Amino acid sequence: MTYAYQRYYRGMVEAVICDWAGTTYDFGSMAPIKAFQKLFAGEGVPITLAEAREPMGTEKREHITRILNMPRVAQAWQVKHGLPATEQDIDRLYQAFLPMQIAAIKTCAQPIPGLMDTVAWLDERGIQIGANSGYNREMLDTLAAIAAEHGFCPVSNVCATDVKRGRPYPHMSLKNALEIGISDVRACIKIDDTIPGIEEGLAAGMWTVGVAVSGNETGKTQAEWSALNETEQNQVRARANRRFRHGGAHIIIDSIADLPHAVVQVEQWLAQGYGPETPGLAGVTIAPGEALPQ
């Protein structure tokens, strides 16, 4: 007779690995959008909000490449410039994009409401915080320096240019985990407001939490979100929830303010011997606005 054995992790959550724009800072993930729209408008090829957002979460040169490969944008580029975009065009666009992005980061660098309460809750429980981003090192250092002034200082900060491959590959989250020194990837939660960020966490063997309201999937500033009535908010939230559910996120929350409830849920699953790969756990939605668990 042949026997098979399954090894379970039944410890507690040791680390949370956060995305930056749209997850911890910059409600609506507006900084990249401002920069991408300004970049392409300057080339005589304006892009829509939807086009600017579609590749969100990827490394920024790759983001530019994906926009240029969109059929409408590719056609508009050829009409304007006479030829399809080349690698040299992409390199030039990326270099022009860098100062635009850094300026937009500085403009939009405000913590998402509830961030510091969540940080304090995690700290009380000895849960480490790492962070990663599709930004390059200069962009990330710009944002991290501002965040440090507010008291938000992840113990590990990784950007897309620190690793061989950015999202949806697992490299950034795994580098975070190594730097933090976690005992098992199943003790980690990856929280992100983009589908590539969820795919990154899943590929790394981690639990994943999708952020439905404060980030890219909703794509509204805090003022724009607050201006919606309850019915409109519910419709927008439901659409974002469906996207994350289809993307395989284990848990879906409105914003990082609700993350403690996701941590409690993950620890309940771990206590039952479940892991991130256990079938049937994806798509659990946390109701917004509940008091922090004790």
Among this protein's residues, is 193 annotated catalytic? no
Structure tokens at 223: 């003022």
**Residue 206 C-alpha from the chain's centroid:** 14
Catalytic residue, chosen from 19, 26, 193, 258, is 19
- Backbone torsion region of residue 273, taken as left when φ is above 0, otherwise alpha when ψ lies between -120 and 50, otherwise beta: left
Looking at 26, 60, 175, 220, which residue is catalytic?
A: 60
From the list 267, 256, 265, the residue with the least C-alpha distance to 187 is 267
Beta carbons within 8 Å of 288's beta carbon, 6+ residues apart = 213, 253, 254, 255, 257, 258
Exposed/middle/buried for 18, CB within 10 Å: 0-12, 13-18, 19+?
Answer: buried
Nearest alpha-carbon partner for 167 in 34, 37, 63, 30: 63
60 given a catalytic annotation: yes
User: Annotated catalytic sites, by residue?
Assistant: 19, 60
